[in-house]
Amino acid sequence: MKYTNILILSLSVVFVVACSPSDSPDEREQAEADAAPVETVEPAAVEPEVEMKTATDDNPLLAEWDTPFGVPPLDQIEEAHFLPAYDVALANHSAEIEAIATSEEAPTFENTILAMEQSGRELGKISRVFSNLASSATNDEIRAIQREMSPRLAAHSASITLNPDLFARIDTLYQNRDGLDLSPQQARLLETTHEDFIRAGAQLEGEDRERFAEIRSSLAGLYTQFAQNEQADREAWTLELGAEDLAELPDYIVAAAAGAAADRDMEGHVVTLARSSVEPFLQSSPNRAQRETAWRAWTLRGDNDNDNDNKDTIREILALRLEQANLLGFETFAHYRTAGTMAGTPEAARSLMEQVWWPARDRALEEAADIEARIANAGMQHELAPWDWRYYTQQVRAERYDLDESEVKAYLQLDNMIDAMFYVSEQLFDITFVERDDIPTYHPDVRVWAMQNPEGEVAGIFYGDFFARPGKRGGAWMSSFRLQNGMTGEIPLILNNCNYNKPASGEPALLSFTDAVTLFHEFGHGLHGLLSDTEYPSLAGTSVDRDFVEFPAQIYEHWLSQSEVLQKFALHHETGEPMPPELLDRVLAATNFNQGFATVEFLNSGFVDLAYHLNTDPAAIEIDAFENEVLASRQNLDEIPMRHRSTHFLHTFAGEGYSSGYYSYLWAGVLDNDGFAAFEEAGNIFDGELAQKLYENVFSAGDTQPAMDAYVGFRGREPNVEALLRNRGFVDTDVVNIEG
């Protein structure tokens, strides 16, 4: 489901396109762009007069931002500014909407759709700043504001989408659209606005309308509660390491553990539940008891029967979602959600997962046998358990490909990998990135670059926040401070967040290969926002179907694995020498290693997510038993649980972005493997003609056309799963079309 510019539903999450390889296995989210400046559209002649409120004090959130490119003055904004600013902005937006809805003029595109698109700019500015801080630099004050504002914003959104006078104007235009002489983008904006209002309950009446608004408000609060509970459980836990433990761990893990302790004002070394901390520990620690302790803490976030427990929250969310879907005439929430995607139905989404499940499971069984043989050869008596998989897999990987993680990381310096991702965008889209030191940020770790078009004009601002720290949620995601706006000529302000371990002062930040893939993935999302070239913000950038939004990010990952890129940028952090060809060959050969585990782990979460939202009696669900039942139904391996257990499944329960839609990473995986195969078939990973099609139909196009049309415009045909199964090393299958 996509939302127009006016539908600001919740502050519980900001990660519209939020997940990367660190969050799922294959989540890996222009020749010459038209550099002519966008003409500013004058306000519609029939724009209603609105009496606007103004702030009574000096509040930077409500002032004009006299900053380079109109970026947020993040160095001036304080927590105390938000609630007063929200009060003013909500009142002003309500007045704007009321004036549109009650206008005595007959509805036109200009006085209704365009006027709506121009409304709420003040509220949008404030919400984007706050949402980014709530995800990247939160504290007790911000969390309290979030709890207060989430239901208020949901209620405000409902007051718009459930406004009968406003919808009557939209519906009149939609029913008469063929006679309005609209441009293609105007027609698309009218179509998506009408669809969004219907899916947000605009056709409901009486008590159903009131109940729908209550549900939206309640869900917003529950999403915030779920996310804050997960963060509280995650940040409360640490595992202290003694001298004997440190002696058995690689230097990079020891350094990260020291940094994690320092971040928490602790002495010594600790492992935390940030993925960048706990996962390397599970891969490297020979202490099986400590691995089990860490793994259980990691998987039990939100499931500890304490104040942060999320089980009841899940049941409440599921019950409200089912009621919401039923009010709109859908059998289940899964049917409601998938109706607004490329898949179209939950059956189509499940069918795709089933196509990949059995080949992935077969490969996982082979991988398990390799690990069990290694355990036996080492004289161990224990059976393979979930906390063993990563540890022994690393040993099998190192032995099979003669790879040492420390050796590989020495060539993957963060600064060089940033240069690599910029290099790829320059080769594909003829853009350059120049670092700036005059852009205000919310934390000293944040770096800022200006994206320049071929004429050297600044066409976007890119913020990079790469290191983990307390107060920042886990994972990796892309968000924005401002969308590209063709009406005003405003350039996009895009933010990427990752959670790498911050090195000691003066030391380089070294990445694993998976970390580097995450970097490229999120920058693919970033480019989707930065290269946007649409007339209307509601159609800009990542405002596309949920199961299409990961495609630009996942296809971008493929360029990292190309020898042309690695030979140029994988340089030793001490000597500056390029990665030796034989090591490069081994790194690339190992990229498909453990794909059975990775795919099964992901699909477990995908199947459970879909099953939750197909269930019609959520109040009776026992979370652990439900998970186990779904996994057992597909003969899952006990050693491979869900990648994200329910009680910390932020994708599904901290908002609606990926609810009943976690499958979309696999859907996009089909697209990205099939799509990159076009460059391979051309014999040139930077083929100019293909790059231009990718730019025109995907990276710049936003939601100006249906997602399948966008893909076909780039690829020349609809996608199939052949390339994905081949690239993951699974058994061959017949070509299968994925369109639902």
Q: What is the pLDDT of residue 622?
A: 98
Q: Taking residues 482-490, what's their average pLDDT? A: 97
CA atoms within 13 A on the CB side of 646: 29
- Considering only residues 30 and 260, tell me which one the structure prediction assigns the higher pLDDT: 260
Q: What is the pLDDT of residue 23?
A: 36
Give residue-wise pLDDT tens across range 709-728: 999 999 999 998 889 988 88
In CATH terms, the fold of domain 68-231 is: Neurolysin; domain 3 (1.10.1370)
Q: Which of 468-472, 594-598, 728-732 has the lowest mean pLDDT?
A: 728-732
Q: What is the pLDDT of residue 156?
A: 96
Q: Longest Cα pair distance anywhere in the chain, in angstroms?
A: 84
pLDDT at 508 over 70: yes
The pTM for the full model equals 0.86
SS3 of residue 21 by DSSP: coil
Give residue-wise pLDDT tens across range 602-617: 999 999 999 999 999 9
Give residue-wise pLDDT tens across range 388-423: 999 999 899 888 898 888 899 999 999 999 999 999
Give residue-wise pLDDT tens across range 97-114: 999 999 999 999 999 999
Q: Taking residues 307-336, what's their average pLDDT? A: 97
> How do the domains of the chain map onto residue ranges?
68-231
Q: What is the pLDDT of residue 398?
A: 87
Among the listed residues 209, 181, 393, the one whose alpha carbon sits nearest the alpha carbon of residue 283: 393
Q: What is the pLDDT of residue 57?
A: 60
Provide the Cα torsion 65, 70, 72, 75; round to 10°.
Answer: -70
Q: What is the pLDDT of residue 474?
A: 83
pLDDT at 16 over 50: no
Q: What is the pLDDT of residue 25?
A: 33
* Long-range contacts, stretch 230-233, CB < 8 angstroms, 24+ apart: 230/301, 230/302, 230/308, 230/310, 230/647, 230/648, 230/650, 230/654, 231/138, 231/473, 232/307, 232/308, 233/273, 233/300, 233/301, 233/302, 233/304, 233/306, 233/308, 233/648
Q: What is the pLDDT of residue 732?
A: 53
- What is the C-alpha to C-alpha distance for residues 692 and 236, in angstroms, rounded to an integer? 48
Give residue-wise pLDDT tens across range 152-185: 999 999 999 999 999 999 999 999 999 999 999 9
pLDDT averaged over the chain?
A: 90
pLDDT at 655 over 80: yes
Residue corresponding to tokens 């919400």 = 127
* CA angle (645, 649, 651) in 5-degree steps: 145
Q: What is the pLDDT of residue 475?
A: 87
pLDDT at 630 over 60: yes
Distance of CA 656 to the CA centre of its chain: 12
Please, which residues have CB within 8 angstroms of residue 622's CB and are 6 or more apart in sequence?
none
Q: What is the pLDDT of residue 51?
A: 55
Say if residue 73 is exposed, middle or buried (CB neighbours under 10 Å; 0-12, 13-18, 19+). middle
Give residue-wise pLDDT tens across range 564-592: 999 999 999 999 999 999 999 998 888 88
Residues of the chain above pLDDT 70, percent: 91
Distance of CA 279 to the CA centre of its chain: 20
Q: Which of 44-58, 60-74, 105-119, 298-312 has the lowest mean pLDDT?
A: 44-58
Catalytic residues: 522
pLDDT at 450 over 60: yes
Q: What is the pLDDT of residue 404?
A: 86
Q: Taking residues 34-39, what's their average pLDDT? A: 28
- What is the C-alpha to C-alpha distance for residues 475 and 20, in angstroms, rounded to an integer? 7
pLDDT at 20 over 70: no
Q: What is the pLDDT of residue 590?
A: 87
Q: What is the pLDDT of residue 293?
A: 98
Q: What is the 3-state secondary structure (H, E, C) of 591-630?
A: HHCCHHHHHHHHHHHHHHHHHHHHCCCHHHCCHHHHHHHH
Q: For residues 634 and 605, is the Cβ–Cβ distance under 8 A?
A: no
Q: What is the pLDDT of residue 589?
A: 86
- Considering only residues 47 and 204, tell me which one the structure prediction assigns the higher pLDDT: 204
Give residue-wise pLDDT tens across range 343-378: 999 999 999 999 999 999 999 999 999 999 999 988
pLDDT at 442 over 80: yes
